[in-house]
Amino acid sequence: MSEIRPIDKAIEILSRTNDGNDLSPTHLTLMEHAANGFLNEKGLEKLEEIYQQVMAGEYKKPYLQGVEFMTNDNDGFVYFKDKQVEHFSWDYMYSPAAKDYLIELQDKYLFMERNGLTGKSVYDEDFCAMYNSENLDKLSKSAEGNTIMFSNIRSNGGSSISFFLPGRVDEDDVWDCEHQKYLVQQYDYVREFKSAIELFKFGSGEERPATEEELKLINCSFRFLKDNNHIESVDSMGFERYANFVDEDEEGVEL
């Protein structure tokens, strides 16, 4: 019996997934490459994996950026447990900033479920008050009498982003983090990138960097914490860096 060709596997997958509408966007792209004969060994292995799942009726869309319950479709819409909740542009969809926001959305909708608020909007004033109050309580308990330190980074080149890093950070810490690397990669035609670092503290006692879970709470409720004076800005600095150039003094010489 002859082996099934990649193009035939792709056609079968599409026919069993509502013409590909039930596939994740990345898997749909994989089908297009399979049909055109563009898959390498790794791509063929992934095609076979999806083919076996679809044929067994076990295929499920992978979570968007690995954030549980969050998926997306081929038109850029984002879903929480199959409920449409947002729309992302494609250049934003797989960015570190989008993952931060996906985690925030996931957390808000899980909070909504836990508290029987499924008819609410995450933008409703009473929902926001309840949600932020719970996060403040969690952050206070997590601090355990210590002062939580974290930095808010605002960076821009071809676009602007804002994100958080634990503790006190410097220029090199920012330049080496995944958010900044993604920004530089996406806008590699931009010569100069400007960033601002603002150091914040929460609580009182011995200083320590925020944990990963604390940064998640801060990310989800930062505006509330700042507007209600639950966090204090203690220092700030700005810097500029050049990307894709050998020497800042040798303008126009690219790597």
Q: What is the pLDDT of residues 61-113, one digit of tens each?
A: 999 999 999 999 989 999 999 999 999 999 899 999 999 999 999 999 999 99
State the angle between helix axes of 212-227 and 125-143 in degrees (0 to 180), rounded to the nearest 10: 130
pLDDT of 20 reads: 92
Question: Taken in order 221, 222, 225, 230, is the CA torsion positive or negative?
Answer: positive
The CA distance from 131 to 100, in Å, is 17
pLDDT of 2 reads: 63
**Interval 208-235 mean pLDDT:** 97
Q: Judge contact between 248 and 242, C-beta under 8 A.
A: yes
The CA distance from 255 to 241, in Å, is 15
Percent helix, strand and coil across the chain, each to the nearest 5? 45, 20, 35
**Interval 148-172 mean pLDDT:** 95
pLDDT at 250 over 60: no
pLDDT at 16 over 90: yes
What are the extents of the domains in the chain?
6-55, 64-111, 125-242
State the angle between helix axes of 6-16 and 41-55 in degrees (0 to 180), rounded to the nearest 10: 40
pLDDT at 19 over 80: yes
Q: Is 117 helix (H, G, I), strand (E, B) or coil?
A: coil
pLDDT of 252 reads: 38
